[in-house]
């Protein structure tokens, strides 16, 4: 197996990695070797309806509840593990920690975690929005029970490192996207109803045209890259 995508939905993360994103972290020849038939997307059992879309891209599709620890042991070895916008959907941080460490156990070349920002600092986090009576839309979704932070992800990786001292790796942490101003539709009033996706005037007043300096980070990349074997 070349790519395992956890929380695949429509398989878009695999496609994006193979066409563009992978070239930012691996040599072109390695990315080119990731053939469609060597990729598999995992989804929770209740998301079986995604199968058709994933398989139409030429990828395999598997069902597994990642919150069940025994399911993690059956994940296949693979060059690359992707977990983009999935850890926040798990029931709690214990489950998320287990998934991170399982991905590191199974990946031989790369484990890539993409996280929506739940950071609360006043510099590039939600704290800067809260000063204006605003917040990220996604911090108050029923589907996001776990506010998985960059520090949580790094802590999981460092715990794994202690257990695996003979596996060297490079850790990359960097922003994956930004909110540049209050005009961004993903910025909503603090008291916006649960599961609000985007701002609309019916949600109440929002100051427009406020530019953030520095920009607020909307999502983060936490990437573990292992040396070529």
Predicted confidence (pLDDT) per residue in 64-99, tens digit: 999 999 999 999 999 999 999 999 999 999 999 999
Please give the model's pTM, rounded to 2 decimal places.
0.96
* Cβ proximity of 69 and 41 under 8 Å: no
Q: Which domain holds residue 164?
A: 3-118+144-176+219-225
Structure tokens at 127: 């704290």
Number of folded domains that form the chain: 1
pLDDT, the chain, mean: 97
* CATH number, position 79: 3.40.50.150
**148 inside domain:** yes
* Cβ proximity of 1 and 60 under 8 Å: no
Predicted confidence (pLDDT) per residue in 158-186, tens digit: 999 999 999 999 999 999 999 999 999 99
User: What is the rounded average pLDDT of the residues 40-50?
Assistant: 97
Work out the number of other CB atoms within 10 angstroms of the CB of residue 42. Answer: 23
**91 inside domain:** yes
Three-state secondary-structure class, residue 15: helix
**138 inside domain:** no
**163 inside domain:** yes
**190 inside domain:** no
Predicted confidence (pLDDT) per residue in 196-221, tens digit: 999 999 999 999 999 999 999 999 99
**206 inside domain:** no
**114 inside domain:** yes
**182 inside domain:** no
């Amino acid at each position: 197996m070349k790519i395992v995508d956890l929380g695949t939905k429509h398989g878009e993360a695999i496609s994006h990695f193979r066409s563009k994103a992978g070239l930012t972290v691996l040599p072109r020849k390695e990315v080119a070797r990731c053939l469609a038939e060597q990729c598999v997307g995992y989804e929770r059992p209740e998301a079986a309806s995604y199968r058709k879309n994933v398989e139409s891209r030429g990828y395999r599709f598997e069902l597994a509840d990642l919150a069940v620890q025994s399911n993690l042991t059956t994940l296949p070895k693979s060059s690359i593990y992707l977990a983009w916008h999935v850890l926040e959907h798990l029931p709690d941080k214990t489950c998320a920690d287990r998934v991170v460490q399982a991905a590191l156990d199974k990946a031989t070349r790369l484990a890539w975690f993409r996280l929506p920002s739940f950071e609360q600092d006043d510099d590039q986090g939600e704290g800067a929005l809260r000063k204006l009576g605003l917040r990220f839309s996604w911090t108050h979704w029923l589907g996001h029970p776990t506010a998985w932070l960059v520090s949580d992800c790094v802590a999981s990786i460092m715990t794994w490192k202690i257990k695996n001292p003979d596996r060297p790796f490079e850790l990359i942490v960097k922003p994956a996207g930004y909110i540049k101003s209050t005009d961004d539709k993903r910025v909503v009033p603090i008291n916006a109803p649960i599961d609000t996706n985007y701002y609309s005037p019916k949600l109440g007043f929002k100051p427009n045209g406020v530019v953030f300096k520095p920009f607020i980070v909307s999502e983060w990349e936490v990437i573990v890259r292992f040396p070529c074997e």
